[in-house]
Amino acid sequence: MREKIHTILILVLLSPALCQATIVAFYTDGLIQDGDVYDYVSVYNDATVDMTGGIVTVQLGAYDSSTVNISGGVLHGVFTSAGASTASTLNLSGSMQADAVGIWGLGTLNMFGGTVRSVENNNIANLYGGIISDYLWATSTVNIYGYGFQYNPLAGDYRGGQLTGFWMNDTAFSIDLWYLNVPYAPLIDTWPHIVLIPEPATLLLLGLGVLILKKRN
């Protein structure tokens, strides 16, 4: 049976009231479900944690080589650790909702569904579906699987342009891309890190088109 390990209650004195923050750490496989409410969640080792419901009010962090599957529930923030040895994986799907998702270290994001306000990618992100309602920020590879891609460098609210198209399930999407170039800070230009991967049917049509052109020539 999967269980939560090392639940710790921390009491923080905030004058004049006494508040408590709930922290849970998973070192083996676990489950977060409807009715569970935590402030901080951490997942370690090679544990796999499924979140099908519940609320994480502050952040969920995936460390080491752990895997977190989030198909439901609400989170303020979810991320893979910035540690160089971290190779954790986040899989987002279903009706999950998050304010922010961050991919750091050697972490990987696979997004199949759900709604996320912002995604910040510093390693590998694979987008197959879902909604990014505010912006996509990337300094490393973002693979986007779908068809009908259109990029408008003048659209969007974050100076990096806007990408539109359709996911492989025929659902339309629109993603604003982040761009920032200021003195004494690293350049962040998302568009050069985007890799558009057409669905197999689109690749087949492109292949047929090439064959027809060759025959005509």
Q: Which two tokens mark 176?
A: 């604003």
Owning domain of residue 17: 5-216
| pLDDT given at position 21 | 80
Share of the chain above pLDDT 90, in %: 75
Amino acid of residue 148: G
**Contact predicate 24/41, CB 8 Å:** yes
Instruction: Please name the residue ranges forming H helices in the chain.
Output: 200-216
Residue 217 pLDDT class (50, 70, 90 cuts)? low
Task: Report pTM.
Answer: 0.84
**Residue 21 and residue 7: Cα distance in Å, rounded?**
11
**Residue 108 and residue 89: Cα distance in Å, rounded?**
5
Q: What are 57-95's pLDDT values in tens digits?
A: 999 999 999 999 999 999 999 998 766 667 999 999 999
More confident of the two residues 217 and 183? 183
User: Could you tell me which of 129, 126, 206, 116 has the C-alpha nearest to residue 167?
Assistant: 129
Q: What are 155-202's pLDDT values in tens digits?
A: 999 999 999 999 999 999 999 999 999 898 889 999 999 999 997 754
Overall domain count for the chain: 1
Amino acid of residue 1: M
- Quote the longest CA-to-CA distance of the chain: 83
Per DSSP, the chain holds a count of helices (H) and strands (E) of: 1, 19
What is the arithmetic mean of pLDDT over 38-43? 97
Average pLDDT, the chain: 86
Q: Which two tokens mark 150?
A: 């259109």
Poorest-pLDDT segment among 10-19, 26-35, 137-146, 183-192? 10-19
Phi/psi for 10 (5° steps) reads -115, 125
Q: Which two tokens mark 97?
A: 């909702």
